[in-house]
């Protein structure tokens, strides 16, 4: 048996063990509090956003309610979808607390993601799973806020200019997808033209988000773009949907330097957007630059990826379609979150005529790009 065959056999055994672990945990039932009311933390009829009630005192009280002792240190981390904090503990260590946005994911959907990341960690893929207490609980509630704790994971952005870095990332994404393809999500939705295209279009148009007279122009361009997405899908043919990271861009990959105790390299954080989708979704956001540069980058990613998982090259017809869907979904995401004070402060450009004019132009460019031949690494 060659070294490559031995490594493949060990990887297959590890994945089989991780799958068995996932199934066993799922069979035990939810690892969270009993179902209760949706997150509100405010009186009915309040015009304040639910996160307005998430004061520093409430954050610390929540963490201490599950047995930890805090030392008062609390730093808000950069996160818009959820509220995330770096919390100091009495023993001098730190943990990360994520307080989930109300009504975005159900308990079952959050726990599915937790189980997936647990299984990835079990086969030594560098991810950050939610901490589990003595009762096997990873999702907690305090004052109607749902939250989870994680180990602190530091690091810098990966140097994507390096071929070795790209191949390294490709190997780990291939391993994530090898496990991700073994079991489907039951609770979490898929990333497709409906969830990231048609549904956001309908929501924006029904809520009069785009100012007149740009509203009809934007909607018409989106419909043309979705026709282009449909053409790309038809050209690519049926693809296997697998469990993904879902938001695998450079900001969600942290790189650490090795030392005597721990190996260096990438680790993947924030699986909050994990869902079913095509494998290419976790690769294309790592590409940038000219067509020639992206072709070379993709070749390096796939060189590493294929060492652990097969890749269907027909998916490449979907690359620009996936970019187009992300653009449409992004506008709807901002619009839906506008009642959260953090969003107007962070995205002051959103909603202006200039914003929608730029979106119309960008989507028209995407319509043209989707008609071009796909990248051929």
Rounded to whole angstroms, the Cα distance separating 376 from 355 reads: 33
Q: Are residues 190 and 311 in the same domain?
A: yes
pLDDT above 90 covers a percentage of the chain that reads 81
pLDDT band at 308 (very low <50, low <70, confident <90, very high): very high
Q: Are residues 227 and 174 in the same domain?
A: yes
| pTM as predicted | 0.89
Selected residue with higher pLDDT from 144 and 87: 87
Q: What is the pLDDT of residue 41?
A: 39
Query: Average pLDDT in the 360-367 region?
Result: 98
Q: How many helices (H) and strands (E) does the chain have?
A: 12, 9
Q: What is the pLDDT of residue 256?
A: 87
Q: Are residues 115 and 193 in the same domain?
A: no
Rounded to whole angstroms, the Cα distance separating 209 from 137 reads: 40
Domain end call among 151, 177, 212:
151
Q: Are residues 93 and 180 in the same domain?
A: no
In tens, the pLDDT along 31-69 reads 555 343 343 333 444 467 899 999 999 999 999 999 999
In tens, the pLDDT along 191-203 reads 999 999 999 999 9
pLDDT above 70 covers a percentage of the chain that reads 86
CATH of the domain at 56: 3.30.200.20
Q: CB neighbours (10 Å) of residue 6?
A: 10
- Specify if 156 maps to a domain: no
Query: Average pLDDT in the 307-329 region?
Result: 98
Residue 261 predicted with pLDDT over 80: no
User: How far from chain centre, in Å, is Cα 47?
Assistant: 29
Q: What is the pLDDT of residue 49?
A: 86
CATH of the domain at 189: 1.10.510.10
**Is residue 254 classed as helix, strand or coil in its secondary structure?**
strand
Contacts of 230 (CB under 8 A, 6+ apart): 193
Selected residue with higher pLDDT from 83 and 377: 83
Specify the number of domains making up the chain. Answer: 2
Q: Are residues 297 and 230 in the same domain?
A: yes
Q: Which residues are catalytic?
A: 247, 270
Average pLDDT, the chain: 90
In tens, the pLDDT along 195-239 reads 999 999 999 999 999 999 999 999 999 999 999 999 999 999 998
Q: Are residues 140 and 265 in the same domain?
A: no
- Specify if 376 maps to a domain: no
Domain end call among 151, 171, 188:
151
Q: Are residues 79 and 181 in the same domain?
A: no
Peptide bond into 297 cis (omega under 30): no
Q: Are residues 105 and 197 in the same domain?
A: no
Q: Are residues 167 and 307 in the same domain?
A: yes
Q: Are residues 190 and 333 in the same domain?
A: yes
Q: Are residues 213 and 361 in the same domain?
A: yes
- Specify if 377 maps to a domain: no
Domain range for 86: 7-151
Domain end call among 151, 179, 203:
151
- Specify if 168 maps to a domain: yes
């Amino acid at each position: 048996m060659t070294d490559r065959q031995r490594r493949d056999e060990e990887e297959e055994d590890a994945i089989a063990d991780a799958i068995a672990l996932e199934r066993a945990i799922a069979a035990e039932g939810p690892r969270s509090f009993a179902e209760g009311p949706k997150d509100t933390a405010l009186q009915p009829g309040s015009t304040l956003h639910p996160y307005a009630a998430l004061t520093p005192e409430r954050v610390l009280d929540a963490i201490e309610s599950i047995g930890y002792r805090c030392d008062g240190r609390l730093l808000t981390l950069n996160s818009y979808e959820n509220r995330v904090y770096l919390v100091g503990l009495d023993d001098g260590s730190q943990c990360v607390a994520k307080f989930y946005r109300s009504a975005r994911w159900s308990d079952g959907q959050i726990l599915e993601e937790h189980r997936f990341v647990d299984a990835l960690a079990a086969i030594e893929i560098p991810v950050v799973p939610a901490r589990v207490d003595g009762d096997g609980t990873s999702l907690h509630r305090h004052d109607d806020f749902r939250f989870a704790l994680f180990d602190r994971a530091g690091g810098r952005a990966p140097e994507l200019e390096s071929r070795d870095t790209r191949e390294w990332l490709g190997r780990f994404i291939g391993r994530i997808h090898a496990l991700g393809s073994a079991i489907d999500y039951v609770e979490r939705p898929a990333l497709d033209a409906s969830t990231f295209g048609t549904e956001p279009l309908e929501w924006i148009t029904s809520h009069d988000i785009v100012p007149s007279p740009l509203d009809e122009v934007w909607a018409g361009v989106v419909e043309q773009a979705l026709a282009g997405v449909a053409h790309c899908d038809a050209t690519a043919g049926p693809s296997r949907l697998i469990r993904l990271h879902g938001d695998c861009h450079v900001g969600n990959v942290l790189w650490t330097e090795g030392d005597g105790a721990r190996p260096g390299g990438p680790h993947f954080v924030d699986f909050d957007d994990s869902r079913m989708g095509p494998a290419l979704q976790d690769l294309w956001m790592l590409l940038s630059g000219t067509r020639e540069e992206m072709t070379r980058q993709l070749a390096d990613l796939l060189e590493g990826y294929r060492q652990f998982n097969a890749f269907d090259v027909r998916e490449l017809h979907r690359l620009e379609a996936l970019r187009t869907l992300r653009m449409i979904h992004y506008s709807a995401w901002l619009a839906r979150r506008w009642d959260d004070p953090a969003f107007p402060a962070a995205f002051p450009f959103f909603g202006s005529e200039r914003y929608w004019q730029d979106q119309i132009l960008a989507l028209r460019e995407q319509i043209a790009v989707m008609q071009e031949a796909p990248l051929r690494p």
